[in-house]
Amino acid sequence: MSEFRITGKAKLAGVIGYPVTHSLSPVLHNYWLARHGIDGAYVPLSVAPDAFVIAVKGLQAAGFRGANVTIPHKEAAFAIADEVDPMARIAGSVNTLVFREDGSIHGSSTDGFGYVANLEADGIDVSALASRGPALLLGAGGAARSIATSLLEKGFQVIFSNRTAERADGLAKELDAAWRRNFPEGDAPWLSTIAWDEWEEQLGDMALLVNTTSLGMQGGPAPDWAPNLSKASRHLVASDIVYVPQETPFLKAARELGLTTSGGLGMLLHQARPGFKAWFGADTEVDEATVAYIRAALSRR
């Protein structure tokens, strides 16, 4: 790895959140900067919701190249962007801002890209998986929006299940309407919902199961959460966006049944690649060295 170096010409970016102390993005991006020998820095930026617009404009004025955006600012980032990519427009949220030389702000949603890229890195043929059956997403928050949008793009039928059924129904309707607005000449998306107390019984019909909630997260409200997967087809792929712990009780239960599993850490790493390229001008890869470095950082927390 190259020696860390920063000068007055440094390329600058960061992550905006509230709070932001939990974010691994500074560790990851600064690792990549040092590895590529780039004169730059990536910093955590704690910004309260009522100061978001002022903070973004200030970063832009200070010469930053852009920023990642995390909870609770993704919808505000969507609103402040002058232009957004199609997947962000459908999802209605943005996690990556790029400040262009003409003063405009471009927004994109890379969470779904990171999720799909992680599946592919784990050796899963996503297109073939989409032909085997629907994807069942647990949860109806921002992560579910982004992941569902990317899965629809890959040809999946998408089903939502959420403890509050109204949120799942609302999200399915919103994404359906957004998809039709953006692709009026294309095929309509296939979106539906299942009641929270019924989805385990219908796993035999699913090709992909995705936990987009905080269930199973270390330090969360239900760290021991593990659903009953006994009705799952042996071809089901079980994935989790939680990455602390790296193998959640849900994934452990799936692995013990012989199911293919995919953890959340890879999604975190892959979703960072487009932003790094846009701000710092270098392609990156999520290789063994990168994963080992981030795992070591996690173990120190």
Catalytic site residue from 74, 231, 252, 277? 74
| The pLDDT of residue 118 | 97
- To the question of domain 11-109+272-299 being in CATH 3.40.50.10860, the answer is yes
Biggest alpha carbon–alpha carbon distance for the chain: 59
CA distances from 202 to 88, 186, 205 (A): 30, 29, 6
**Residue 79's closest CA among 65, 92, 61, 96?**
92
Nearest to 77 by CA among 122, 167, 142: 142
- Across residues 40-64, what is the average pLDDT? 97
Q: What is the pLDDT of residue 14?
A: 98
In this prediction, residues 224-251 reach a mean pLDDT of 95
Q: Write down the pLDDT at residue 3.
A: 59
Instruction: Tell me what the pLDDT averaged over the chain comes to.
Output: 94
pLDDT in tens, 168-216: 999 999 999 999 998 888 888 899 999 999 999 999 999 999 999 989 9
Residue 188: predicted pLDDT: 82
Q: What is the distance between the alpha carbons of residues 120 and 263, in angstroms, rounded to a whole number? A: 12
Classify residue 71 by burial, with Cβ atoms within 10 Å: 0-12, 13-18, 19+.
Answer: middle
Phi-psi region of 90 (alpha: psi -120 to 50; beta: other; left: phi over 0): alpha
Residue 20 CB burial class (10 angstroms; 0-12, 13-18, ≥19): buried
Give percent of the chain above pLDDT 70: 99
Higher-pLDDT residue of 89 and 301 is 89
pLDDT (mean) for 223-228: 96
Closest CA to 172 of 134, 202, 131, 116: 134
pLDDT tops 80 at residue 232: yes
In degrees and rounded to multiples of 5, residue 15 shows phi and psi of -125, 130
Q: Give the pLDDT confidence of 158-177 residue by residue, as tens digits.
A: 999 999 999 999 999 999 99
Binned at pLDDT 50, 70 and 90, residue 4 comes out as low
pTM over 0.75: yes
**How many Cβ atoms from other residues are within 10 Å of residue 257's Cβ?**
14
pLDDT of 9 reads 93
Q: What DSSP designation does 4 have?
A: P
Task: Give the span between the Cα atoms of 256 and 276, in whole angstroms.
Answer: 37
The matching CATH number, chosen from 2.40.240.10, 3.40.50.720, 3.30.1010.10, 1.10.3720.10, for 113-266 is 3.40.50.720
Q: Where exactly does CATH 3.40.50.720 map onto the chain?
A: 113-266
pLDDT at position 186: 80
Closest CA to 236 of 269, 195, 207: 207
Question: How would residue 300 be classed by pLDDT, with cut points 50, 70 and 90?
Answer: confident
Asked whether the predicted pLDDT for residue 2 surpasses 60, the reply is no
Judged against a pLDDT cut of 70, whether residue 1 lies above it is answered with no
**Start-end of CATH 3.40.50.10860 domains in the chain:** 11-109+272-299
- Annotation says 231 is catalytic: no
123: burial class by Cβ within 10 Å (0-12, 13-18, 19+)? exposed
Residues sharing a CB contact under 8 Å with residue 22, sequence separation 6 or more, in sequence order:
none
> What strands lie across the sheet with 40-46, from one edge to the other?
40-46, 11-17, 66-69, 96-99, 105-108, 83-84
